[in-house]
Amino acid sequence: MQPVNRPIVSPNVAPDPAPVQLHSDGERPEKRKIRVSAILAIITDHYLGILVFAFLWGALVVGMVMRTPRKFAASVTVAPVGNARQLNLPSSIAGSLLGAANAGIQATPVFVARLAHLQGVLDEVARRPIPERRQLVIEGVTNQRLADIPPHKYAPEIEKRLQTSIDRESGTVTIVAALADSGLARVIVNDLVESVRRAYTRAMKSQAGALVEAQTARVDSAAKRMRDAEAALVSFGSANRMVPQTSPLWVEQQRLQNNVVIAQTIYTQAITELENARGKAIEDAPALVVLDPVPDALTPRGRGTVFIGLATFVLAFIIATAFVLVREAAANVYSSADNDMVHLVSSLERLPLIGKRGVRWFLRT
């Protein structure tokens, strides 16, 4: 018998690794990557449907915008009048600070703009009748009967149509009302200016009334202090006929005379401020001066049709493109018999709103 030749295996040599499994085409398996060329190919295949979808939506939105009536903007430019009287305080740093703090309500541009958006002011405008019409402003704005409009919606409905802007360099305030009815827009702006004036006047008079009461009490206190100081000085003079200079009695006499001068000064200031407060309480302080009234012919506002149409077209194009890409990706995954995808599709087919037909149409099966 001939000896059998067996291969000699060294104990230190590792066995060969398992062979790599190859696909049917003999190539190694590679991870699937998203390629730009594939995305562009899908978009190119469906470009006609995407463009038609985007164009139809753009045309639909443009048609809806064209059907809406154009709005007319009624604007008025006003300037606040700062005529609040300040208290007569000493010309010192403390007096200046106290004067600024006690100057009261000032008709600044910011304050006037805030008044124009107060609920009480807007309610007053909403309840005003429209000249030459048998309806109120709120009825003309909402196109509803007064009984059908809740009272708490009066101010919000008016505020939706208003816009205020402040020019801090010139100190002016511009009030704009935009409505499809040019006459109603003009009425709202004019009534709003008058309501702001009345609101400012009421605030000024209310402040002045409270100030009159406070200053009256202050005058009474200053008068009593002055009478007490004068009585003390008279009593001292009656008891001391001769007062030698540089004596303790002379020092006491100077102190009493200074008290009288201070009390008279305080009383004079209190009287002046009381008269100023009384003048505020009875005067009609205008808050606004109209610089640019509402013109007779209002210019209609543009609808922005071109911008809205282009924006709708671009948005619809993006949505249609995303839909096509997602549909193609889902169809490819489903065709590869992925277990998770198959389970998801079977779950979607059982949904009542989608069903088998919807899923099969989306996956093109």
Each residue's pLDDT tens digit, 123-140: 999 999 988 888 899 988
pLDDT 10s digits, 222-232? 888 888 888 88
- Tokens 């295996």, located at residue: 9
Tens digits of per-residue pLDDT, 169-220?
A: 888 899 988 888 888 888 999 999 999 888 888 877 777 777 788 888 888 8
Do the beta carbons of residue 185 and residue 74 sit within 8 Å? yes
What contacts 24+ positions apart, CB below 8 Å, involve 119-123?
119/155, 120/199, 121/192, 121/195, 121/196, 121/199, 122/154, 122/155, 122/158, 122/159, 122/192, 123/154, 123/155
- Write the CA distances from 39 to 51, 78, 273, integer angstroms: 16, 59, 82
Per-residue confidence (pLDDT) for residue 18, from 0 to 100: 42
What b-and-e string marks burial along 197-206, b requiring 16 or more CB atoms within 10 Å of the CB? Answer: bebbeebbbe
Beta bridge mates, 163 = 176
**Which two three-digit tokens encode residue 213?**
């009461």
CA dist 162 to 38, 137, 174, 240, 291, Å? 52, 13, 10, 77, 19
pLDDT < 70 stretches in the chain: 1-34, 82-105, 280-287, 337-338, 353, 364-365
Query: How buried is 97 (Cβ within 10 angstroms: 0-12 exposed, 13-18 middle, 19+ buried)?
Result: exposed
- CB-CB contact of 74 with 294 (8 Å): yes
CB proximity list for 170: less than 8 A, separation 6 or greater: 79
At 270 the pLDDT is: 87
Per-residue confidence (pLDDT) for residue 317, from 0 to 100:
93
CA triple 323-325-328, angle to 5 deg: 105
* Percent helix, percent strand, percent coil in the chain, to nearest 5: 60, 10, 30
Question: Phi-psi region for residue 244, left (φ > 0), alpha (ψ -120 to 50) or beta?
Answer: beta
Q: CA-CA distance, 354 to 365, in Å (whole number)?
A: 15
Q: Supply the pLDDT for residue 104.
A: 58
For residue 33, what pLDDT is reported? 53
Q: What is the pTM of this model?
A: 0.57
- pLDDT computed for residue 318 by the predictor: 94
